[in-house]
Amino acid sequence: MKMFLDTCNVEAVRNAADTGLISGVTTNPTLAKKANRPDYRKMISEMCDISGLESVSAQAREDQNADGMFREGIELDAIFPGKIAVKLPMNPHGLTAAKLLRRKKEIHTNITLTFTPNQALLAMEAKVTFISYFMGRQEDKIREKHGEDPKAPSEAESYAISEIRRDLERMVSYKERYGSESKILAASVRDFTHVTLAADCGVDVISMPPEVFWDIFSDPLGLTEDGIKRFLKDREPLTS
Residue ranges in 193-222 that form contacts with ligand G3P under rule CB under 6 A = 207
d(CA 71, CA 124): 21
* Alpha helices (runs of H) in 9-152, residue ranges in sequence order: 10-17, 29-34, 40-48, 66-77, 92-105, 117-125, 135-146
d(CA 208, CA 187): 7
∠ Cα 172 178 180 (to 5°): 70
Binding of ligand G3P at residue 26 (CB under 6 A)? Answer: yes
Active site residues: 87
Residue ranges in 42-101 that form contacts with ligand G3P under rule CB under 6 A = none
Residue with Cβ nearer ligand G3P (100 or 109): 109
d(CA 40, CA 69): 16
Q: Of these, 4, 6, 97, 120, which contacts ligand G3P (CB under 6 A)?
A: 6
d(CA 144, CA 123): 27
Q: Of these, 188, 201, 205, 213, which contacts ligand G3P (CB under 6 A)?
A: 188
Residue ranges in 129-148 that form contacts with ligand G3P under rule CB under 6 A = 132, 134, 136-137
Residue nearest to ligand G3P (CB): 188
Binding of ligand G3P at residue 119 (CB under 6 A)? Answer: no
Binding of ligand G3P at residue 28 (CB under 6 A)? Answer: yes
